[in-house]
Structure 1
Amino acid sequence: MSYLSATNMTGGYGKADILHDCTLTVDKGQIAVIVGPNGAGKSTAMKAVFGMLGLRAGQVTLDGTDISALSPQDRVKKGMGFVPQVNNVFPTMTVEENLEMGAFIRNDNYRVTMEQVFDLFPILKDKRRQNAGELSGGQRQQVAVGRALMTQPKLLMLDEPTAGVSPIVMDELFDRIIEVARTGISILMVEQNARQALEIADKGYVLVQGANKYTDTGQALLADPDVRRTFLGG
């Protein structure tokens, strides 16, 4: 059984369904990437998995446990970490304070985890006393990912982690995401930079109008002529 199994999700906002029988699964330590055109429901699917969107149909299980009825806060306690695309740091708090906020659900000594975050993102250690709002876009993304890692998640969900950053920073973030997955943490990621994201993906999902259009390994999707022509620019 997949570590995350979000099956047959149908739902949206109010009476308008955005997701239509959408299914996403991620195995332990896998990187799964959701790509597709604007308005395809990618971020909506992520929010549904995290419990921020009510579903009319479908089920979400984590490590074999049905969590469909749980709030986002309770899903964090079960092992989910979520990094939204925008407003994902506390700009008037220092880097270290942002990371401490990520440990709010923990009662143990979180300093070891903080050092692991600093090992993953060395620039954050150098800037630990600096307010997060003063950092570059790429550095703020590192803070946001680091704060999510402070909860010790088993599943890390990233909504457009490379939005607005340079290609060099994008490559660096993807390298760090690979490192996180190698520790056994499952990754579910929505990404506009589809070609680059599929290159690091164990599994890829192409969504169109809230439904699964293509599902395969990242490499298979990159090699699929229909996917390349329609979604990857040829």
Structure 2
Amino acid sequence: MSGPVLIGDAMTGGYGAADILHDCTIAVEKGQIAVIVGPNGAGKSTAMKAVFGMLNIREGQVRLNGRDITKLTPQARVAQGMAFVPQTSNIFPSLTVEENLEMGAFLRRDDFRTTMEQVFDLFPILRDKRRQAAGELSGGQRQQVAVGRALMTQPSVLMLDEPTAGVSPIVMDELFDRIIEVARTGISILMVEQNARQALEIADKGYVLVQGRNRFTDTGQALLADPEVRRSFLGG
């Protein structure tokens, strides 16, 4: 198949009558990392939610593997191979780590233990804490649980909304390393990230949004090298 695995093409829409996105296009290729960055209020998370079907778009189209999924519910998109990790409220705190991962396999009818082992290989600390309540873990470990649960659905596209929010720089680097590992398995990553410079360093494709519109689109390295992007969005 040629073309992106997932594309939100020329999306216009928002919440109620107010449009937040204006002719916004976001896409990710197979096994690549696409990052959405921009100032606060730029519509980054709104673009992710539009792609995942959490809000209606008045214009434009969302396609997954070439198929128009614009009208599908988020649940139906999960069944088609999309997984979404929201920024907050993304684990079941009273359940154990293992139970959280099992919840990620709720749509599956096959033996998911191999996938769980793959998650434990990716995040070894979760194997050590598999019997512990997820709510007792550190912020970075809870984020690993959230990503691991999403991977249990065996997605073709993994969407992450601010995965490093509130974690230390060391934990952020570790999470980014794991995200790169996931992409190497062929899973496409679409990510909104406040730490723009660090995110663009690992990005195959970067989208800079301003007021719900595409301002810059290029490879992560090209955006990092662009003087205007550096001056306006990366602190010089």
TM-score by length of 2: 0.99
Q: CA deviation at 1:5?
A: 1.5
Counterpart among 195, 200, 208 of residue 193 in structure 1 = 195
1:118 aligns with 2:120: yes
**Structure 1 counterpart of 2:32:** 30
Q: What amino acid does structure 1 have at the position aligned with 2:184?
A: R
**Structure 1 counterpart of 2:108:** 106
Q: CA deviation at 1:88?
A: 0.3
**Structure 1 counterpart of 2:137:** 135
Q: CA deviation at 1:153?
A: 0.2
CA distance in 2, matches of 1:34, 1:130: 34
**Structure 1 counterpart of 2:150:** 148
CA distance in 1, matches of 2:231, 2:32: 26
Q: What amino acid does structure 1 have at the position aligned with 2:66?
A: G
Q: CA deviation at 1:212?
A: 0.2
Q: What amino acid does structure 1 have at the position aligned with 2:183?
A: A
Counterpart among 201, 206, 209 of residue 208 in structure 2 = 206
Cα displacement string for residues 143-183 of structure 1 (whole angstroms, at most 9, x for unaligned residues): 00000000000000000000000000000000000000000
Counterpart among 86, 89, 92 of residue 94 in structure 2 = 92
Cα displacement string for residues 100-132 of structure 1 (whole angstroms, at most 9, x for unaligned residues): 000000000000000000000000000000000
Q: What amino acid does structure 2 have at the position aligned with 1:36?
A: G
Counterpart among 54, 57, 81 of residue 56 in structure 2 = 54
Cα displacement string for residues 181-202 of structure 1 (whole angstroms, at most 9, x for unaligned residues): 0000000000000000000000
Q: What amino acid does structure 1 have at the position aligned with 2:70?
A: S
CA distance in 1, matches of 2:203, 2:151: 20
Counterpart among 73, 76, 79 of residue 77 in structure 1 = 79
Q: CA deviation at 1:6?
A: 1.0
Secondary structure at the residue paired with 1:5?
strand
Q: Which runs of 5+ in 2 are unaligned?
A: none
The size of the alignment, in residue pairs, is 234
Counterpart among 3, 10, 14 of residue 5 in structure 2 = 3
- What percentage of residue pairs aligned between the two structures are identical? 82
**Structure 2 counterpart of 1:226:** 228
Extract structure 1 runs of 4+ deviating beyond 6 A. Answer: none
Q: What amino acid does structure 2 have at the position aligned with 1:66?
A: D
Alignment of 1:37-48 (within 5 A): 37-48=39-50
Q: CA deviation at 1:220?
A: 0.2
**Structure 1 counterpart of 2:14:** 12
TM-score by length of 1: 1.00
Secondary structure at the residue paired with 1:180?
helix
Q: What amino acid does structure 1 have at the position aligned with 2:233?
A: F
